[in-house]
Structure 1
Amino acid sequence: MSASKPTIVLVHGAWHGSWCWKFQTPALEALGYAIETVDMPCTSSVAGTTQFDDAARVRSVVESLLTEGKRVAIVAHSYGGPIASAAIKGLLDNRNLLGMIALCAYIFPSGMDQGAAIRSIGGLPYVNWDSPTEGLFVTKDPGSLFFPPDVSPDLVEWAVPQLSPQSMAANTGIVPPQAWQDDGYPGRLGYIRCTEDMVNPLAQQNTMIEGAGGSDKWVIRTLEGSGHSPFLSRPAEVAAAVDEIVKQFEAGVPSK
Protein backbone atom coordinates (compact mmCIF):
# COMPACT_ATOMS: atom_id res chain seq x y z
CA MET A 1 0.00 0.00 0.00
CA SER A 2 1.26 3.48 -0.89
CA ALA A 3 1.96 5.85 1.98
CA SER A 4 0.22 8.71 0.16
CA LYS A 5 -3.52 8.96 -0.23
CA PRO A 6 -5.02 8.67 -3.71
CA THR A 7 -6.83 11.42 -5.58
CA ILE A 8 -10.60 11.39 -5.21
CA VAL A 9 -12.63 12.35 -8.28
CA LEU A 10 -16.01 13.73 -7.21
CA VAL A 11 -18.89 13.22 -9.67
CA HIS A 12 -22.05 15.23 -9.03
CA GLY A 13 -25.64 14.19 -9.63
CA ALA A 14 -28.43 15.57 -11.80
CA TRP A 15 -29.13 19.33 -11.59
CA HIS A 16 -25.99 19.76 -9.48
CA GLY A 17 -22.45 20.83 -10.31
CA SER A 18 -19.02 20.82 -8.76
CA TRP A 19 -20.23 23.59 -6.43
CA CYS A 20 -22.07 20.97 -4.36
CA TRP A 21 -18.75 19.58 -3.08
CA LYS A 22 -17.74 22.87 -1.40
CA PHE A 23 -17.88 21.40 2.10
CA GLN A 24 -17.01 17.82 1.16
CA THR A 25 -13.70 18.77 -0.41
CA PRO A 26 -12.04 20.15 2.76
CA ALA A 27 -13.35 17.20 4.80
CA LEU A 28 -11.58 14.78 2.45
CA GLU A 29 -8.49 16.97 2.18
CA ALA A 30 -8.24 16.91 5.98
CA LEU A 31 -7.76 13.14 5.71
CA GLY A 32 -4.95 13.58 3.20
CA TYR A 33 -6.79 13.16 -0.12
CA ALA A 34 -6.27 15.29 -3.20
CA ILE A 35 -9.53 16.22 -4.92
CA GLU A 36 -10.63 16.62 -8.53
CA THR A 37 -14.15 17.71 -9.42
CA VAL A 38 -16.01 17.46 -12.71
CA ASP A 39 -18.76 19.59 -14.21
CA MET A 40 -20.77 17.37 -16.54
CA PRO A 41 -22.47 18.46 -19.79
CA CYS A 42 -25.89 17.31 -18.53
CA THR A 43 -26.20 20.45 -16.38
CA SER A 44 -24.79 22.91 -18.91
CA SER A 45 -28.34 23.88 -19.99
CA VAL A 46 -27.67 22.35 -23.42
CA ALA A 47 -30.50 20.07 -24.51
CA GLY A 48 -29.58 16.73 -26.06
CA THR A 49 -26.50 15.96 -23.96
CA THR A 50 -26.53 12.31 -22.89
CA GLN A 51 -25.06 9.97 -20.30
CA PHE A 52 -22.43 9.06 -22.89
CA ASP A 53 -21.33 12.71 -23.03
CA ASP A 54 -21.16 12.87 -19.24
CA ALA A 55 -19.21 9.60 -18.99
CA ALA A 56 -16.73 10.82 -21.59
CA ARG A 57 -16.12 13.99 -19.54
CA VAL A 58 -15.48 12.00 -16.35
CA ARG A 59 -13.32 9.46 -18.18
CA SER A 60 -11.11 12.24 -19.56
CA VAL A 61 -10.40 13.42 -16.02
CA VAL A 62 -9.70 9.90 -14.74
CA GLU A 63 -7.45 8.99 -17.66
CA SER A 64 -5.49 12.22 -17.28
CA LEU A 65 -4.80 11.45 -13.62
CA LEU A 66 -3.83 7.85 -14.40
CA THR A 67 -1.48 9.05 -17.15
CA GLU A 68 0.21 11.23 -14.54
CA GLY A 69 0.75 8.08 -12.47
CA LYS A 70 -1.71 9.11 -9.76
CA ARG A 71 -3.79 6.64 -7.80
CA VAL A 72 -7.50 7.36 -8.21
CA ALA A 73 -10.82 6.55 -6.57
CA ILE A 74 -14.17 7.94 -7.66
CA VAL A 75 -17.07 9.09 -5.49
CA ALA A 76 -20.30 9.49 -7.45
CA HIS A 77 -23.60 10.91 -6.19
CA SER A 78 -27.11 9.94 -7.35
CA TYR A 79 -27.35 10.20 -11.18
CA GLY A 80 -23.53 10.21 -11.20
CA GLY A 81 -23.42 6.52 -10.28
CA PRO A 82 -24.03 5.11 -13.77
CA ILE A 83 -21.89 7.91 -15.22
CA ALA A 84 -18.85 7.05 -13.09
CA SER A 85 -19.33 3.33 -13.71
CA ALA A 86 -19.41 3.98 -17.46
CA ALA A 87 -16.38 6.26 -17.23
CA ILE A 88 -14.16 3.52 -15.77
CA LYS A 89 -15.39 0.73 -18.05
CA GLY A 90 -12.30 -1.17 -19.23
CA LEU A 91 -9.95 0.63 -16.83
CA LEU A 92 -10.05 -1.76 -13.87
CA ASP A 93 -6.90 -3.56 -15.06
CA ASN A 94 -4.98 -0.41 -14.10
CA ARG A 95 -3.95 -0.96 -10.50
CA ASN A 96 -3.81 2.81 -9.96
CA LEU A 97 -7.57 2.93 -10.40
CA LEU A 98 -8.64 1.76 -6.98
CA GLY A 99 -12.40 1.72 -7.48
CA MET A 100 -15.70 3.57 -7.40
CA ILE A 101 -17.88 4.59 -4.45
CA ALA A 102 -21.58 5.26 -5.05
CA LEU A 103 -23.01 7.85 -2.65
CA CYS A 104 -26.76 7.06 -2.43
CA ALA A 105 -26.39 6.65 -6.18
CA TYR A 106 -28.28 4.68 -8.78
CA ILE A 107 -27.00 1.34 -10.06
CA PHE A 108 -28.36 0.65 -13.52
CA PRO A 109 -27.43 -2.14 -15.96
CA SER A 110 -25.86 -1.50 -19.34
CA GLY A 111 -28.40 -0.85 -22.08
CA MET A 112 -31.27 0.03 -19.75
CA ASP A 113 -33.80 2.34 -21.44
CA GLN A 114 -34.43 4.89 -18.70
CA GLY A 115 -37.16 6.64 -20.66
CA ALA A 116 -39.13 3.40 -20.89
CA ALA A 117 -38.56 2.76 -17.18
CA ILE A 118 -39.88 6.21 -16.30
CA ARG A 119 -42.94 5.75 -18.50
CA SER A 120 -43.61 2.35 -16.92
CA ILE A 121 -44.05 3.97 -13.50
CA GLY A 122 -46.25 6.74 -14.83
CA GLY A 123 -43.57 9.42 -15.10
CA LEU A 124 -41.80 11.51 -12.49
CA PRO A 125 -44.35 13.66 -10.64
CA TYR A 126 -41.71 15.83 -9.00
CA VAL A 127 -40.32 17.31 -12.26
CA ASN A 128 -41.38 19.75 -14.96
CA TRP A 129 -40.45 18.45 -18.41
CA ASP A 130 -39.31 20.77 -21.21
CA SER A 131 -38.58 23.48 -18.69
CA PRO A 132 -37.27 26.16 -18.84
CA THR A 133 -36.91 25.30 -22.55
CA GLU A 134 -37.52 22.27 -24.75
CA GLY A 135 -35.26 19.34 -23.94
CA LEU A 136 -34.45 20.46 -20.40
CA PHE A 137 -36.19 19.69 -17.13
CA VAL A 138 -36.20 20.88 -13.54
CA THR A 139 -37.54 19.71 -10.20
CA LYS A 140 -40.72 21.38 -8.97
CA ASP A 141 -39.66 21.85 -5.36
CA PRO A 142 -35.94 21.06 -4.98
CA GLY A 143 -35.77 22.48 -1.48
CA SER A 144 -38.18 19.82 -0.23
CA LEU A 145 -36.75 17.02 -2.36
CA PHE A 146 -32.97 17.00 -2.18
CA PHE A 147 -32.21 18.31 1.28
CA PRO A 148 -34.52 16.95 4.02
CA PRO A 149 -34.22 15.97 6.76
CA ASP A 150 -30.74 17.05 7.78
CA VAL A 151 -29.49 19.93 5.62
CA SER A 152 -29.75 23.21 7.51
CA PRO A 153 -32.09 25.92 6.13
CA ASP A 154 -29.21 28.30 5.42
CA LEU A 155 -27.46 25.68 3.28
CA VAL A 156 -30.70 24.90 1.45
CA GLU A 157 -31.04 28.60 0.71
CA TRP A 158 -27.46 28.61 -0.58
CA ALA A 159 -27.81 25.48 -2.70
CA VAL A 160 -31.19 25.81 -4.44
CA PRO A 161 -30.29 28.82 -6.65
CA GLN A 162 -27.23 26.93 -7.92
CA LEU A 163 -29.19 23.97 -9.26
CA SER A 164 -29.27 23.95 -13.07
CA PRO A 165 -31.76 22.60 -15.62
CA GLN A 166 -30.89 19.04 -16.63
CA SER A 167 -30.81 17.60 -20.13
CA MET A 168 -33.84 15.35 -20.59
CA ALA A 169 -31.83 13.17 -22.97
CA ALA A 170 -29.43 12.35 -20.13
CA ASN A 171 -32.17 10.90 -17.95
CA THR A 172 -34.43 9.32 -20.56
CA GLY A 173 -31.79 7.70 -22.76
CA ILE A 174 -29.84 4.45 -22.77
CA VAL A 175 -27.43 3.58 -19.95
CA PRO A 176 -23.85 3.19 -21.26
CA PRO A 177 -21.81 -0.01 -20.66
CA GLN A 178 -21.16 -0.36 -16.93
CA ALA A 179 -17.92 -1.32 -15.20
CA TRP A 180 -19.75 -2.72 -12.17
CA GLN A 181 -21.02 -5.57 -14.35
CA ASP A 182 -17.46 -6.70 -15.14
CA ASP A 183 -15.78 -9.33 -13.01
CA GLY A 184 -12.79 -7.07 -12.38
CA TYR A 185 -10.83 -7.56 -9.19
CA PRO A 186 -12.50 -8.11 -5.81
CA GLY A 187 -13.08 -5.13 -3.56
CA ARG A 188 -13.33 -2.36 -6.19
CA LEU A 189 -16.90 -1.16 -5.59
CA GLY A 190 -18.29 0.74 -2.63
CA TYR A 191 -21.72 2.03 -1.67
CA ILE A 192 -22.63 4.60 0.99
CA ARG A 193 -26.32 4.28 1.88
CA CYS A 194 -28.41 7.17 3.25
CA THR A 195 -31.29 5.96 5.35
CA GLU A 196 -33.64 8.98 5.01
CA ASP A 197 -33.10 9.66 1.31
CA MET A 198 -36.32 10.91 -0.34
CA VAL A 199 -34.95 10.84 -3.90
CA ASN A 200 -33.45 7.36 -3.84
CA PRO A 201 -35.12 5.71 -0.82
CA LEU A 202 -33.19 3.22 1.28
CA ALA A 203 -35.33 0.28 0.14
CA GLN A 204 -34.51 1.14 -3.46
CA GLN A 205 -30.81 1.53 -2.65
CA ASN A 206 -30.83 -1.91 -1.04
CA THR A 207 -32.67 -3.48 -3.98
CA MET A 208 -30.15 -2.07 -6.44
CA ILE A 209 -27.18 -3.21 -4.36
CA GLU A 210 -28.57 -6.73 -4.04
CA GLY A 211 -29.35 -6.88 -7.74
CA ALA A 212 -25.77 -5.83 -8.50
CA GLY A 213 -24.09 -8.53 -6.40
CA GLY A 214 -24.78 -7.42 -2.84
CA SER A 215 -22.17 -7.38 -0.11
CA ASP A 216 -20.12 -9.97 -1.98
CA LYS A 217 -19.35 -7.31 -4.57
CA TRP A 218 -19.88 -3.99 -2.78
CA VAL A 219 -18.21 -2.58 0.33
CA ILE A 220 -21.19 -1.01 2.09
CA ARG A 221 -21.36 1.75 4.68
CA THR A 222 -24.47 3.46 6.05
CA LEU A 223 -25.18 7.04 7.11
CA GLU A 224 -28.04 6.79 9.60
CA GLY A 225 -30.53 9.65 9.41
CA SER A 226 -29.04 11.20 6.29
CA GLY A 227 -31.04 12.47 3.37
CA HIS A 228 -29.93 12.76 -0.25
CA SER A 229 -27.30 15.47 0.31
CA PRO A 230 -24.86 14.25 2.97
CA PHE A 231 -22.06 16.23 1.30
CA LEU A 232 -23.84 19.28 2.76
CA SER A 233 -25.29 17.90 5.99
CA ARG A 234 -22.48 15.64 7.22
CA PRO A 235 -19.33 15.90 5.09
CA ALA A 236 -17.07 14.61 7.88
CA GLU A 237 -19.09 11.39 8.10
CA VAL A 238 -19.01 10.97 4.33
CA ALA A 239 -15.24 11.50 4.38
CA ALA A 240 -14.79 8.89 7.12
CA ALA A 241 -16.89 6.36 5.17
CA VAL A 242 -14.94 7.08 1.97
CA ASP A 243 -11.67 6.63 3.85
CA GLU A 244 -12.77 3.24 5.20
CA ILE A 245 -13.84 2.03 1.78
CA VAL A 246 -10.70 3.30 0.04
CA LYS A 247 -8.58 1.38 2.54
CA GLN A 248 -10.47 -1.77 1.57
CA PHE A 249 -9.93 -0.95 -2.10
CA GLU A 250 -6.19 -0.61 -1.45
CA ALA A 251 -6.10 -3.98 0.31
CA GLY A 252 -7.79 -5.64 -2.67
CA VAL A 253 -5.88 -4.12 -5.57
CA PRO A 254 -3.31 -6.62 -6.92
CA SER A 255 0.40 -5.86 -6.99
CA LYS A 256 2.33 -5.61 -10.23
Structure 2
Amino acid sequence: MLPVRLAFILIANSPIAPAMSHRPTLVFVPGAWHGPETWNKVSAEIEAHEYKCVRVALPSTLSDPAATFADDVRAVRAAIAAETTQGRDVVVVVHSYGGHVGSSAVRGLTRTAQGAASSAGGPSGHVVGIAMMATGFTVTGVSFVDGLGGKPPPEWAADEQAGFAVIVADARALFYHDLPADEGARWVDRLRKQALKPLMEGGEHAYSGWKDVPVWFLATTEDKALPLQAQHVFVQAARDAGADVTLRGVASSHSPMLSRPKETADFILQAVASFTSR
Protein backbone atom coordinates (compact mmCIF):
# COMPACT_ATOMS: atom_id res chain seq x y z
CA MET A 1 0.00 0.00 0.00
CA LEU A 2 1.30 3.48 -0.87
CA PRO A 3 2.02 5.87 1.97
CA VAL A 4 -0.75 8.44 2.28
CA ARG A 5 1.58 11.34 1.41
CA LEU A 6 2.89 9.63 -1.74
CA ALA A 7 -0.61 8.63 -2.81
CA PHE A 8 -1.76 12.24 -2.45
CA ILE A 9 1.15 13.49 -4.57
CA LEU A 10 0.39 10.96 -7.30
CA ILE A 11 -3.28 11.91 -7.36
CA ALA A 12 -2.47 15.62 -7.40
CA ASN A 13 -0.19 15.17 -10.40
CA SER A 14 -2.35 12.70 -12.30
CA PRO A 15 -4.05 13.61 -15.60
CA ILE A 16 -7.37 13.74 -13.75
CA ALA A 17 -7.82 17.45 -13.09
CA PRO A 18 -10.02 18.91 -10.38
CA ALA A 19 -13.56 19.80 -11.35
CA MET A 20 -12.79 23.49 -11.80
CA SER A 21 -10.36 22.77 -14.64
CA HIS A 22 -13.22 21.28 -16.68
CA ARG A 23 -15.01 24.62 -16.63
CA PRO A 24 -14.23 27.01 -19.47
CA THR A 25 -12.24 30.14 -18.78
CA LEU A 26 -14.09 33.40 -19.36
CA VAL A 27 -12.16 36.08 -21.25
CA PHE A 28 -13.72 39.53 -20.81
CA VAL A 29 -13.25 42.26 -23.44
CA PRO A 30 -14.22 45.84 -22.53
CA GLY A 31 -15.49 48.53 -24.85
CA ALA A 32 -13.78 51.65 -26.13
CA TRP A 33 -12.60 54.17 -23.50
CA HIS A 34 -13.01 51.50 -20.80
CA GLY A 35 -10.53 49.40 -18.88
CA PRO A 36 -10.80 45.82 -17.65
CA GLU A 37 -11.96 47.03 -14.23
CA THR A 38 -15.42 47.60 -15.70
CA TRP A 39 -15.85 43.83 -15.47
CA ASN A 40 -14.86 43.55 -11.80
CA LYS A 41 -18.39 43.39 -10.37
CA VAL A 42 -19.48 40.70 -12.82
CA SER A 43 -16.31 38.65 -12.65
CA ALA A 44 -16.53 38.59 -8.84
CA GLU A 45 -20.02 37.09 -9.13
CA ILE A 46 -18.81 34.50 -11.63
CA GLU A 47 -15.62 33.61 -9.77
CA ALA A 48 -17.84 32.71 -6.81
CA HIS A 49 -19.04 29.85 -9.04
CA GLU A 50 -15.43 28.66 -9.48
CA TYR A 51 -14.85 29.93 -13.00
CA LYS A 52 -11.56 31.49 -13.99
CA CYS A 53 -12.01 35.03 -15.31
CA VAL A 54 -9.46 36.89 -17.43
CA ARG A 55 -10.02 40.62 -17.99
CA VAL A 56 -8.20 42.04 -21.01
CA ALA A 57 -6.79 45.57 -21.20
CA LEU A 58 -7.03 46.78 -24.78
CA PRO A 59 -3.88 48.51 -26.08
CA SER A 60 -6.05 51.16 -27.72
CA THR A 61 -7.09 52.40 -24.26
CA LEU A 62 -3.54 52.81 -22.93
CA SER A 63 -3.01 56.41 -24.10
CA ASP A 64 -1.05 55.42 -27.21
CA PRO A 65 -2.41 57.05 -30.39
CA ALA A 66 -0.33 54.63 -32.46
CA ALA A 67 -2.26 51.60 -31.16
CA THR A 68 -4.15 49.74 -33.88
CA PHE A 69 -7.11 47.43 -34.17
CA ALA A 70 -4.66 44.61 -34.85
CA ASP A 71 -3.02 45.37 -31.48
CA ASP A 72 -6.37 45.00 -29.73
CA VAL A 73 -7.11 41.73 -31.53
CA ARG A 74 -3.67 40.36 -30.64
CA ALA A 75 -4.18 41.20 -26.96
CA VAL A 76 -7.43 39.23 -26.85
CA ARG A 77 -6.00 36.35 -28.88
CA ALA A 78 -3.08 36.14 -26.47
CA ALA A 79 -5.47 35.90 -23.52
CA ILE A 80 -7.47 33.18 -25.28
CA ALA A 81 -4.41 31.23 -26.39
CA ALA A 82 -2.95 31.29 -22.87
CA GLU A 83 -5.95 29.16 -21.88
CA THR A 84 -6.54 27.01 -24.96
CA THR A 85 -2.90 25.93 -25.18
CA GLN A 86 -3.34 24.51 -21.69
CA GLY A 87 -6.32 22.47 -22.87
CA ARG A 88 -8.96 24.78 -21.44
CA ASP A 89 -12.01 25.87 -23.42
CA VAL A 90 -12.88 29.56 -23.47
CA VAL A 91 -16.02 31.67 -23.55
CA VAL A 92 -15.40 35.21 -24.79
CA VAL A 93 -17.52 37.92 -23.14
CA VAL A 94 -17.71 41.19 -25.05
CA HIS A 95 -19.24 44.63 -24.67
CA SER A 96 -19.73 47.45 -27.19
CA TYR A 97 -16.55 48.01 -29.30
CA GLY A 98 -15.16 44.95 -27.53
CA GLY A 99 -17.55 42.89 -29.63
CA HIS A 100 -15.69 43.96 -32.76
CA VAL A 101 -12.40 42.95 -31.16
CA GLY A 102 -13.58 39.71 -29.56
CA SER A 103 -15.33 38.40 -32.66
CA SER A 104 -12.21 39.03 -34.72
CA ALA A 105 -9.91 37.48 -32.13
CA VAL A 106 -11.53 34.03 -32.21
CA ARG A 107 -10.55 33.37 -35.83
CA GLY A 108 -9.07 29.87 -36.06
CA LEU A 109 -9.51 29.23 -32.34
CA THR A 110 -12.94 27.57 -32.49
CA ARG A 111 -13.89 23.96 -32.96
CA THR A 112 -14.93 23.01 -36.50
CA ALA A 113 -18.37 21.62 -37.27
CA GLN A 114 -16.86 18.13 -37.31
CA GLY A 115 -15.44 18.61 -33.82
CA ALA A 116 -11.84 18.45 -35.02
CA ALA A 117 -9.04 20.73 -33.88
CA SER A 118 -9.09 24.16 -35.43
CA SER A 119 -6.40 25.73 -37.53
CA ALA A 120 -4.60 26.70 -34.31
CA GLY A 121 -3.26 23.14 -34.47
CA GLY A 122 -2.31 20.61 -31.83
CA PRO A 123 -4.24 19.32 -28.85
CA SER A 124 -5.88 22.35 -27.30
CA GLY A 125 -9.00 23.89 -25.93
CA HIS A 126 -11.25 25.98 -28.10
CA VAL A 127 -13.48 29.02 -27.98
CA VAL A 128 -16.90 27.45 -27.45
CA GLY A 129 -19.12 30.53 -27.46
CA ILE A 130 -19.41 34.31 -27.32
CA ALA A 131 -21.54 36.20 -24.79
CA MET A 132 -22.31 39.61 -26.26
CA MET A 133 -23.95 42.69 -24.82
CA ALA A 134 -24.76 46.15 -26.17
CA THR A 135 -22.75 45.55 -29.31
CA GLY A 136 -22.95 44.82 -33.02
CA PHE A 137 -21.93 41.88 -35.17
CA THR A 138 -18.62 42.32 -36.96
CA VAL A 139 -18.55 41.84 -40.72
CA THR A 140 -15.39 40.24 -42.07
CA GLY A 141 -13.19 42.86 -43.73
CA VAL A 142 -15.15 45.85 -42.41
CA SER A 143 -13.74 48.33 -39.88
CA PHE A 144 -15.66 49.45 -36.81
CA VAL A 145 -16.65 52.84 -38.21
CA ASP A 146 -17.43 51.46 -41.65
CA GLY A 147 -19.84 49.14 -39.87
CA LEU A 148 -21.52 52.26 -38.46
CA GLY A 149 -21.96 53.80 -41.89
CA GLY A 150 -18.48 55.20 -42.50
CA LYS A 151 -18.32 58.07 -40.03
CA PRO A 152 -18.31 58.50 -36.25
CA PRO A 153 -21.70 58.75 -34.54
CA PRO A 154 -22.60 62.15 -33.06
CA GLU A 155 -21.63 61.03 -29.53
CA TRP A 156 -17.91 61.10 -30.30
CA ALA A 157 -15.54 62.93 -32.62
CA ALA A 158 -12.26 62.11 -34.31
CA ASP A 159 -9.37 64.26 -33.10
CA GLU A 160 -7.09 63.35 -35.99
CA GLN A 161 -4.28 65.66 -34.89
CA ALA A 162 -3.98 64.06 -31.45
CA GLY A 163 -4.94 60.60 -32.70
CA PHE A 164 -7.78 59.98 -30.25
CA ALA A 165 -11.53 59.50 -30.35
CA VAL A 166 -13.12 62.09 -28.07
CA ILE A 167 -16.51 61.72 -26.39
CA VAL A 168 -18.47 64.91 -27.02
CA ALA A 169 -21.76 63.81 -25.44
CA ASP A 170 -22.52 63.74 -21.71
CA ALA A 171 -20.64 60.55 -20.85
CA ARG A 172 -22.61 59.82 -17.68
CA ALA A 173 -25.92 60.11 -19.50
CA LEU A 174 -24.57 58.10 -22.42
CA PHE A 175 -23.05 55.19 -20.51
CA TYR A 176 -24.16 55.22 -16.87
CA HIS A 177 -27.51 56.98 -16.51
CA ASP A 178 -28.95 54.21 -14.30
CA LEU A 179 -26.10 54.28 -11.79
CA PRO A 180 -26.25 56.48 -8.69
CA ALA A 181 -24.97 59.93 -9.64
CA ASP A 182 -21.80 59.69 -7.56
CA GLU A 183 -20.89 56.26 -8.91
CA GLY A 184 -21.62 57.35 -12.47
CA ALA A 185 -19.34 60.35 -11.97
CA ARG A 186 -16.56 58.08 -10.71
CA TRP A 187 -16.80 55.94 -13.84
CA VAL A 188 -16.69 59.04 -16.02
CA ASP A 189 -13.46 59.98 -14.25
CA ARG A 190 -12.07 56.52 -15.07
CA LEU A 191 -12.70 56.79 -18.80
CA ARG A 192 -9.48 56.37 -20.75
CA LYS A 193 -8.05 57.96 -23.84
CA GLN A 194 -9.18 55.93 -26.84
CA ALA A 195 -6.86 55.64 -29.83
CA LEU A 196 -8.62 56.64 -33.03
CA LYS A 197 -6.99 54.21 -35.46
CA PRO A 198 -8.67 51.04 -34.14
CA LEU A 199 -12.08 52.60 -34.67
CA MET A 200 -11.40 54.01 -38.13
CA GLU A 201 -9.07 51.43 -39.66
CA GLY A 202 -8.11 47.76 -39.53
CA GLY A 203 -10.90 46.20 -41.53
CA GLU A 204 -8.46 43.63 -42.89
CA HIS A 205 -8.27 42.17 -39.36
CA ALA A 206 -12.04 42.14 -38.77
CA TYR A 207 -13.70 38.73 -38.72
CA SER A 208 -17.24 37.44 -38.21
CA GLY A 209 -16.31 35.01 -35.46
CA TRP A 210 -19.92 34.94 -34.31
CA LYS A 211 -20.63 32.68 -37.28
CA ASP A 212 -18.25 30.03 -35.92
CA VAL A 213 -19.69 29.52 -32.43
CA PRO A 214 -23.05 29.89 -30.69
CA VAL A 215 -23.81 33.36 -29.35
CA TRP A 216 -25.87 34.62 -26.45
CA PHE A 217 -26.81 38.30 -26.77
CA LEU A 218 -27.90 40.50 -23.86
CA ALA A 219 -29.97 43.42 -25.16
CA THR A 220 -29.81 46.52 -22.97
CA THR A 221 -33.34 47.89 -23.10
CA GLU A 222 -32.62 51.39 -21.74
CA ASP A 223 -29.41 51.93 -23.71
CA LYS A 224 -28.77 55.53 -24.81
CA ALA A 225 -25.57 54.73 -26.70
CA LEU A 226 -26.90 51.81 -28.77
CA PRO A 227 -30.71 51.92 -28.96
CA LEU A 228 -32.62 48.72 -28.35
CA GLN A 229 -34.17 48.80 -31.81
CA ALA A 230 -30.71 48.81 -33.40
CA GLN A 231 -29.63 45.89 -31.23
CA HIS A 232 -32.64 43.87 -32.38
CA VAL A 233 -31.88 44.70 -36.01
CA PHE A 234 -28.29 43.49 -35.51
CA VAL A 235 -29.44 40.24 -33.93
CA GLN A 236 -31.94 39.53 -36.70
CA ALA A 237 -29.35 40.28 -39.39
CA ALA A 238 -26.92 37.87 -37.72
CA ARG A 239 -29.58 35.18 -37.55
CA ASP A 240 -30.42 35.76 -41.21
CA ALA A 241 -26.71 35.26 -41.96
CA GLY A 242 -26.85 31.85 -40.30
CA ALA A 243 -25.73 32.68 -36.76
CA ASP A 244 -26.98 30.74 -33.74
CA VAL A 245 -28.06 33.62 -31.48
CA THR A 246 -30.00 33.34 -28.22
CA LEU A 247 -31.49 36.71 -27.25
CA ARG A 248 -32.07 37.89 -23.69
CA GLY A 249 -32.73 41.35 -22.27
CA VAL A 250 -32.01 43.44 -19.20
CA ALA A 251 -33.44 46.80 -18.12
CA SER A 252 -30.12 48.60 -18.22
CA SER A 253 -28.09 51.43 -19.64
CA HIS A 254 -25.20 50.75 -22.02
CA SER A 255 -23.22 49.40 -19.05
CA PRO A 256 -25.13 46.44 -17.58
CA MET A 257 -21.96 45.03 -16.01
CA LEU A 258 -21.95 48.08 -13.73
CA SER A 259 -25.62 48.80 -13.10
CA ARG A 260 -26.97 45.24 -13.24
CA PRO A 261 -24.00 43.03 -12.30
CA LYS A 262 -26.05 40.18 -10.81
CA GLU A 263 -28.37 39.96 -13.81
CA THR A 264 -25.42 40.22 -16.18
CA ALA A 265 -23.51 37.48 -14.36
CA ASP A 266 -26.59 35.25 -14.40
CA PHE A 267 -26.92 35.79 -18.14
CA ILE A 268 -23.27 34.84 -18.68
CA LEU A 269 -23.56 31.74 -16.50
CA GLN A 270 -26.65 30.63 -18.43
CA ALA A 271 -24.79 31.21 -21.69
CA VAL A 272 -21.81 29.17 -20.48
CA ALA A 273 -24.10 26.33 -19.42
CA SER A 274 -25.66 26.34 -22.87
CA PHE A 275 -22.31 26.43 -24.68
CA THR A 276 -20.84 23.59 -22.66
CA SER A 277 -23.88 21.32 -22.92
CA ARG A 278 -23.55 20.98 -26.70
TM-score bracket for this pair, using the shorter chain length: 0.7 to 0.9
CA 1:11–1:114: 2 relative to 1, 3 Å: closer
Map of 1:222 onto structure 2: 249
Secondary structure in 2 matching 1:99: strand
CA distance in 2, matches of 1:135, 1:52: 16
Deviations 1:3-42 (A, max 9, x none): 5332211100000011211211211112222111110111
Structure 2, unaligned stretches of length 5 or more?
Answer: 1-17, 112-116, 118-124
1:125 shift after superposition:
2.0
- What SS does the aligned partner of 1:190 have? strand
1:1-256 equivalences under 5 Å are: 3-4=19-20, 5-93=23-111, 96-116=126-146, 123-130=152-159, 134-140=162-168, 141-148=170-177, 150-175=178-203, 176-180=205-209, 182=211, 184=212, 188-213=214-239, 217-223=244-250, 225-252=251-278
Alpha-carbon deviation of 1:52?
A: 1.6
Q: Give secondary structure in 2 for the equivalent of 1:212.
A: helix
Q: Closer, same or farther in 2 for the Cα pair 1:120/1:222, shift >3 Å?
A: same
TM-score, normalised via structure 1 length: 0.87
User: Which has the bigger relative contact order, CA under 8 A and spacing at least 6?
Assistant: 1
Consecutive unaligned residues of structure 1, counting only runs of 5 or more, are none
Tell me the TM-score normalised to structure 2 length: 0.80
Contact 1:147-1:156 at 8 Å conserved across structures? yes
d(CA) in 1 for partners of 2:52, 2:271: 16
Give aligned pairs, total. 244
Seen in structure 2, the aligned counterparts of structure 1 residues 88 and 113 have a Cα distance that, compared at 3 Å, is: closer
In terms of Rg, which structure is larger?
2
The change in CA–CA distance for 1:146 and 1:181 in structure 2 (over 3 A counts) is closer
Q: 1:102 offset after TM fit, Å?
A: 0.9
* C-alpha RMSD over aligned residues: 2.2
Q: Percent identity?
A: 29
CA contact (8 A) 1:8 1:33 kept: yes
Q: What amino acid sits opposite 2:158 in the alignment?
A: W
The Cα shift of 1:244 comes to 0.8
